[in-house]
């Protein structure tokens, strides 16, 4: 059965741009389903690290991605019924996810899984290629961005609040390295989708960003 009639809001952007917070809250406001596509790469990375999978073995990583036993429930991320919401936010997992996300076979393996989140009454999907690759015909496309210092500060606060150790200088270097990988990869590079609304959240509260996205959606949903 075709799902093309089900509305999708695609929210893309670099790490720590605020897209996850904004997307989750927009989904809650609209009563839509929510897809954290970055979590799928982190789940693949976590599974690979736990199993000791060779991170150079693209085929093995793709098989892990294709058969991820995961789902999202009440703001929690479950892997084979284990709550791994906190584990996948560890820096080692994030760095590994960023590295395997450049692999074409891994990205291809996750396409069907991501498309499966499009269910009534609608979907808010956040990631790096939601509007360019996965949902190119989304009713609304948003590209959230922010300066590297602003994003590093947010990431630092997130890690400290969750009980992880963090170093600001390391975070700045890490974000710059991730941006370089994401924007220059051969497959689905991180760029604003055609027709996307670009929103710089460097000096913007989450509340304002959420209200802005909701106004944009209201305008296209008429």
Average pLDDT over residues 72-83: 88
Q: Determine if residue 121 is labeled as part of a ligand binding site.
A: no
78 beta partners: 71, 83
Query: Does the pLDDT of residue 46 top 90, yes or no?
Result: yes
Q: Determine if residue 16 is labeled as part of a ligand binding site.
A: yes
> Distance between CA 141 and CA 149 in Å, rounded?
25
Domain spans in the chain, listed from the N-terminal domain onward:
8-220
Q: Determine if residue 62 is labeled as part of a ligand binding site.
A: no
Q: Classify domain 8-220 by CATH number.
A: 3.40.50.300
Q: Determine if residue 20 is labeled as part of a ligand binding site.
A: yes
Q: Determine if residue 15 is labeled as part of a ligand binding site.
A: yes
pLDDT (tens digit, 9 = 90+) per residue, 49-65? 999 999 999 999 999 99
Query: Does the pLDDT of residue 34 top 90, yes or no?
Result: yes
Q: Determine if residue 163 is labeled as part of a ligand binding site.
A: no
Highest mean pLDDT among 100-104, 145-149, 178-182: 145-149
Average pLDDT over residues 76-92: 91
pLDDT (tens digit, 9 = 90+) per residue, 158-210? 888 888 788 999 999 989 988 888 888 878 888 999 999 999 999 999 999 99
Query: Does the pLDDT of residue 216 top 70, yes or no?
Result: yes
Q: Determine if residue 14 is labeled as part of a ligand binding site.
A: yes
Per-residue confidence at 1, pLDDT binned at 50, 70, 90? low
């Amino acid at each position: 059965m075709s799902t093309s009639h089900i509305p999708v809001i695609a929210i893309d952007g670099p790490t720590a741009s605020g897209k996850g917070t904004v997307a989750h809250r927009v989904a809650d406001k609209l009563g839509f389903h929510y897809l954290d596509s970055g979590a799928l790469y982190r789940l693949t990375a976590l599974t690979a690290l736990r199993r000791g999978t060779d991170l150079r073995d693209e085929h093995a990583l793709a098989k892990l991605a294709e058969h991820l036993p995961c789902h999202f429930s009440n703001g929690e991320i479950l892997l084979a019924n284990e709550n791994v919401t906190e584990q996948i936010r560890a820096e080692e997992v994030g760095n590994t996810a960023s590295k395997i996300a450049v692999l074409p076979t891994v990205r291809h393996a996750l396409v069907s899984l991501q498309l499966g989140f499009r269910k009534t009454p609608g979907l808010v999907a956040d990631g790096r290629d939601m509007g360019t690759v996965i949902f190119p015909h989304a009713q609304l496309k948003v590209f959230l961005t922010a300066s590297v210092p602003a994003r590093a500060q947010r990431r630092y606060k997130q890690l400290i609040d969750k009980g992880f150790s963090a170093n600001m200088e390391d975070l700045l270097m890490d974000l710059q390295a991730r941006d370089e990988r994401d924007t220059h990869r051969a497959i689905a590079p991180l760029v604003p989708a055609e027709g996307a609304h670009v929103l710089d959240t460097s000096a913007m509260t989450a509340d304002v960003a959420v209200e802005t996205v909701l106004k944009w959606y209201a305008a296209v949903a008429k």
